[in-house]
Structures are given as structure tokens and as C-alpha cells.
Amino acid sequence: MHEFSIADAIIHVAQELVQQNGGGKVEQIHLRIGELRQVVPDALLFAFDILKQDTPLSDASLEWETVATRVRCKTCGSEYHPNDIFWECPSCGATGAEVVAGEELDIVGITLVEGSDGD
Amino acid sequence: MEIKVVKRIMEANEQHAEVIRRRLREAGVVALNLISAPGSGKTSLIEAAIHNLEGRVRIGVIEGDPDTTRDAERIARLDVPVVQINTEGGCHLEATMVLRALEEIEVDSLQLLFIENVGNLVCPVVFDLGETYRVAVVSAAEGHDKPAKYPALFRTAQVTVLNKVDLIPYLDFDEEQFTSDVRRLNPEMPILRVSCRTGEGVSEWTEWLLGRL
């Protein structure tokens, strides 16, 4: 259940961002989560809903796009979406590729409730 | 209104891991993050290394467990500086916890620091602790399918220790399958066969450690 740590970090980072942008009430937090981060959606939502209570994000919901894993073959250099756990290269059959995408864990946007910003 | 940003969620952990890495580098300390399921023998591997390297390498240990100081007590008996982190139910160590623990150890007096993570093959993999090397530990009794079922650990580790090899004759452990899965997940990674109970392979384990210093 590392999702609790991730939810906790989301709340901290999101609060910081809202403050830096003049405050306001958060409606939704937009995330980008790579497949390799092993985040279980239900576990993240469960953790977030518990931890957001009594914070300025108590009415906020989470929304995210999943970033598919992409790797680069160390032998022949081709880039591909792996189809098995060994990340076998479809071009040359080698394994042990390096990650190009899939480790993202970012906040990419925050929607504030209309008229709630501090200005 | 939408605020558009790109902000890394794990930034705090990453920053603390970087502070740890820098601190260890300055002190000339090599740190190992031991990750495994509960009961695979991480503490025994650390004890074996302490015995074998006594008088040769100055070792410190950070022990991570949800509860009790039992592991730290085992290590303290060997006259080695040790700090116990209790995560109180938490399923992994984070860089912030390790950073706090480092304040209680004389880092400058060490050459080798073991960080024993909480027993868990999933969550610890996600958190950089600022370690120099990541060690995957599997005991034969857990079954040969662990690398295939928990590939992320084996992709990101620099060495795999297969512990309790003395039990293999009594188990349905397919070592060929285990080795082939680990090799396909991480072709260059060495696999060390060890039994802390019989002492088999312990010298290879300590040789591997000496090679990192």
C-alpha cells in the first residue's frame, strides 16, 4: 500500500501549488501516472479520500492519464512497448531494455472551483 | 480555472534521497538497500557479512520493520552501530526516515552501510533511499516464481541473493527457472547462492561486498 505515501505526497504538493497560485478551493487534481509505478487506482483513490479529510482539498477528486511503458533495447536500440515481463525486444529478441517512459508520477494540473481563487 | 503545471509528486522523497547520496559520497560510504519478502534472511545476511568482514570493514546498519527492535538487538550484539526504524505498520522505508536515522549514526566512521528495508516485494521498490546499490534477496522456500511475479525489484537491483539454498533438496524449487527468469529480467546482474545456516556462499557474498568498496 505505497498508495498512501503517494496520496500524502499529492496532498502536500497540491496544497503548495494552490498557495503559490493565490489560493482557492480545489475541484480536481490532474495526474500523470506511469505504468511502472505500480499504482493501483482503487488503492490510490481510497487513500486519497481518507487523507484529504480536514485539509483544504477535502472536496477535491483525482483524475489521471496512464502513461504506457516504453523501453529501448540495449542491444539494437529499437524502442517499443513491452509485451511481456522480460521486455523482450520484438526486433532482436534481447532482454534487459532500459526505460524510456512509464515512470511518471506527476501533478499536471489543478482545477479550482469557479470564483474561489484568492484574487 | 485550471492551473497547468508539471510537478513531480515524489519530489520530497527524491530530494531527501539526493541529500543522503551526497552525504554518503562525501563520507566515502557505500550503502546497500536490501529488499525482500519477510523472512528471507536479510538480517542473517547482514550478520554473516559483519562476521566475515570483522576488523576489515567498518559497517553500520539501519533496520526497518513495522514493529519491535528485535533486528536491531541482533545487530547490536555484534558491536556494530545500528538504528532501528519502526514504520508502525508502514510497508516500506522512505528517504525521509533514512535521513533521520543517519543523524543517529556516525556516518564518517563507516565504509559500508546496510539499510534493511521492510519485508515486502512491491512497495520498497518505488522509493529511492539514496542507496549506492539495491540488493534483491529471495529465499528458496518462497518458490522459484518470485522474480517473474515481482519483476520490478529484479529489474532495478544490482545483485540477487538466493538464500537458504541448503533447503533446495527438500523443496519443489526449480532453480533453472529461477535463474533463467532473473537473467532475462536483468541480464548483467550476478546471482549469489547463499545459505546463512550452513555458510555456503557466504564468502562469495562478502567478496561481492568488498568489490563495491
Q: In this structure, is residue A32 part of a structural domain?
A: yes
Q: Answer yes or no: is A119 within a domain.
A: no
**Res. A119: pLDDT tops 70:** no
Supply the pLDDT for residue B141.
97
pLDDT, mean over chain A? 93
Read off the pLDDT of each residue in B57-80 and give the average, rounded to a whole number.
94
Q: What is the pLDDT at residue B89?
A: 85
CB nearest B151 (choices: A10, A85, A107): A85
User: Residue B73 falls within a domain, yes or no?
Assistant: yes
**Inter-chain touch A88–B91, beta carbons under 8 Å:** no
Residue A76, CA distances (Å) to A22, A80, B29, B123 in order: 50, 12, 36, 32
User: CA geometry: angle at B141 spanning B139 and B145, to 5°?
Assistant: 80
Q: In chain A, which residues have their Cβ closer than 8 Å to the Cβ of B92?
A: 2, 5
| Cβ distance of A96 and B148 shorter than 8 Å | no
CATH code assigned at A85: 3.30.2320.80
Express the helix, strand and coil content of chain A in percent, nearest 5 each. 25, 30, 45
Q: Which position has the higher pLDDT, A115 or B43?
A: B43
Q: What tens digit of pLDDT does each residue of A20-61 get?
A: 988 889 999 999 999 999 899 999 999 999 999 999 899 999
In sequence order, what are the residues at sequence separation of 6 or more whose Cβ sits closer than 8 angstroms to the Cβ of residue B116? B34, B42, B43, B46, B61, B62, B63, B64, B71
Please count the structural domains in chain B. Answer: 1
ipTM: 0.85
* CB contacts < 8 A (A, B): 87
pLDDT in tens, A82-93: 999 999 999 999
Strands of chain B, DSSP E: 2-8, 30-36, 59-65, 82-86, 112-116, 133-139, 159-163, 191-193
Q: In chain A, how many domains are there?
A: 1
Supply the range of the domain harboring residue B121: 11-212
Confidence (pLDDT) at A115: 76
CATH number, domain containing residue B180: 3.40.50.300
User: Are A105 and B8 in contact (CB < 8 Å)?
Assistant: yes
The whole-angstrom separation of Cα B64 and Cα B80 is: 16
Check residue A106 and give its pLDDT: 96
Using the predicted structure, report yes or no on whether residue B97 has a pLDDT greater than 60: yes
Q: Residue B166 falls within a domain, yes or no?
A: yes
Query: What pTM was computed for the model?
Result: 0.92
Rounded to whole angstroms, how far apart are CA atoms B153 and A81?
19
Is A109–B126 a contact, with Cβ atoms under 8 angstroms apart?
no
Higher pLDDT, B89 or A13: A13
pLDDT in tens, B171-211: 999 999 999 999 999 999 999 999 999 999 999 999 999 99
| Residues B135, B161 contacting (CB under 8 angstroms) | yes
Residue A35, in any domain of the structure: yes
Say whether pLDDT at A117 is over 70: no
Q: Do B122 and A109 touch (CB under 8 A)?
A: no
CA nearest neighbour of B213 among B20, B23, B27, B14: B27
**Tell me, what's the pLDDT at A2?**
87
Q: Which residues of A touch B7 (CB under 8 A)?
A: 13, 17, 106-107
Compute the average pLDDT of residues B110-135.
96
